[in-house]
């Protein structure tokens, strides 16, 4: 079985273990250009900074769970870490923490004729991301959003 085909199985298992350890699963990926391949798992503590102990705890629990998968009978390296700070917003926690900050929203298809929007983040709900553009609220459908990124507006006139 090709290693990338195992990704959905590993993601499901990693999500279950992260939930048990009260951590938010951020990403799971196989880095196959290494020998042995690397299984990289990123987690975030939902309320505090992610600690080394959080990563170690998840690593031990996930290692035990992965050992039970017959599909993973090959050598690989498990890496568990926190994603660190990023200027891309993805989680509810990110959207709450950066409320009022300037963001750049890129859409996968034009919304009102544009694919790039800038403004101050108001909030995100299940349907839209809301920006403040010069005192006016703009709702951008989440289904169209490719990325939401923090940015620093230029001071040019």
CATH class of 3-81: alpha beta
Cβ(13)–Cβ(28) under 8 Å? no
- 66 vs 28: CA distance, rounded Å: 13
First to last CA, the chain: 57
Query: Which has more confidence, 63 or 48?
Result: 63
Query: Which has more confidence, 68 or 59?
Result: 59
CA atoms within 13 A on the CB side of 83: 20
Q: What is the mean pLDDT of residues 97-106?
A: 92
Question: What pLDDT score does 59 carry?
Answer: 96
- 43 vs 93: CA distance, rounded Å: 13
Could you give the percent of the chain with pLDDT greater than 70?
A: 95
Q: What is the mean pLDDT of residues 141-155?
A: 85
Tell me the CATH number of domain 92-150, given options 3.90.1150.10, 3.40.50.300, 2.40.40.20, 2.30.30.100: 2.30.30.100
Question: What pLDDT score does 34 carry?
Answer: 79
The domain segmentation of the chain, as residue ranges, is 3-81, 92-150
Name the average pLDDT for the chain. 89
């Amino acid at each position: 079985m090709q290693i990338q085909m195992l990704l959905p199985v590993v993601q499901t298992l990693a999500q279950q273990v992260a939930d048990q350890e009260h951590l938010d699963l951020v990403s799971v990926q196989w880095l196959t250009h290494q020998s042995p391949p690397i299984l990289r798992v990123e987690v975030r503590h939902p309320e505090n900074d992610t600690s080394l102990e959080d990563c170690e705890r998840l690593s031990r629990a996930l290692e035990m769970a992965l050992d039970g998968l017959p599909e993973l009978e090959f050598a690989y390296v498990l890496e568990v870490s926190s994603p660190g700070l990023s200027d891309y917003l993805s989680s509810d926690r990110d959207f709450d923490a950066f409320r009022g900050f300037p963001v750049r929203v890129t859409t996968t298809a034009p919304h009102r004729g544009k694919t790039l929007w800038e403004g101050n983040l108001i909030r995100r709900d299940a349907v839209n991301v809301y920006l403040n553009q010069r005192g006016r609220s703009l709702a951008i459908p989440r289904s169209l959003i490719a990325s939401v990124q923090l940015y620093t507006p230029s001071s040019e006139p």
